[in-house]
Amino acid sequence: MISLAPMDEMDQVVLQLVVQFVVGAVFGTVCAVLAPKRGRSAVGWFFMGFFFNCLGIIVLMLVPDLKLEAERNRRRNEEARRLREQLKKERQVADQRHEEVHGRLTVHDRALGVDTGTRALPATPPPLPSPGPAPAPAPEPEVWHFARGNERLGPVGATRLVRLFEEGSIDGGTLVWRPGMPQWQAFVDVAELRGGSRG
């Protein structure tokens, strides 16, 4: 049987230093291996693991992964660039379509003798006429808009709209609208227009 001689105090200190050095080297090596995978410096994290042991590994796992963050930023920037280019192209197409529609509306305005430009309607109605001799009838307000395909036409008066219906220029399913209506409706569904038409 082998007997070990009792260690003196100096030997115990040396043994503790050796054990602490080995443990530090193991944790330092683990940190040095993991750090590059997370986009960090292997040398710097070796010393973190060496001096702080398990705490160094925990901190390394808690700090953000720089490689992952860099990849996310690259993708985000690429997506933003792609969306900016797409938006620019869509604006160009929208501007071109706007010009085409404006040109068509101008031609239709001339053909129908109407003005579909943006005209503001009066905010308040005119005052009531004073009693007396009956004034000449006021011209019919041109407040009705109608749709033909994807084109919005008008404003025209109710009489003109009924005449277009009677002439066959528009049909009962044509969408019409005037200020005060919540949404566009088919011509045949508007009671005030049906009263002026035969059919």
Give the separation between CA 142 and CA 122, rounded to whole angstroms. Answer: 12
Q: Whole-angstrom distance between the N-terminal and C-terminal Cα of the chain?
A: 124
pLDDT of residue 111: 79
Domain boundaries, the chain: 12-63, 65-112, 144-194
% pLDDT > 70, the chain: 84
* pTM, entire model: 0.36
| pLDDT beyond 50 at 128 | yes
In the block, residue with structure tokens 């043994």: 15
CA distances from 117 to 108, 124, 183 (A): 12, 21, 20
Given the candidates 2.60.40, 3.30.1490, 3.30.70, 3.90.350, the CATH classification of the domain at 144-194 is: 3.30.1490
Of the two residues 192 and 25, the one the predictor is more confident about is: 25
Give the separation between CA 192 and CA 137, rounded to whole angstroms. Answer: 19
Q: What are residue 29's phi and psi, to 5 degrees?
A: -65, -45
Give the separation between CA 184 and CA 154, rounded to whole angstroms. Answer: 13
CB 187 within 8 A of CB 173: yes
Mean pLDDT, the chain, whole residue set: 84
pLDDT of residue 119: 58
| pLDDT beyond 70 at 196 | no
pLDDT digits (tens, 9 = 90+) for 84-107: 888 888 888 888 888 888 888 888
At residue 34's C-alpha, the angle toward residues 28 and 39, to 5°, is 120
pLDDT digits (tens, 9 = 90+) for 107-124: 888 877 777 765 555 556
> Residue 103 in 3-state DSSP?
helix
pLDDT digits (tens, 9 = 90+) for 156-166: 999 998 999 99
CB 194 within 8 A of CB 174: no
What tokens were used for 134? 């009956």
| pLDDT beyond 50 at 189 | yes
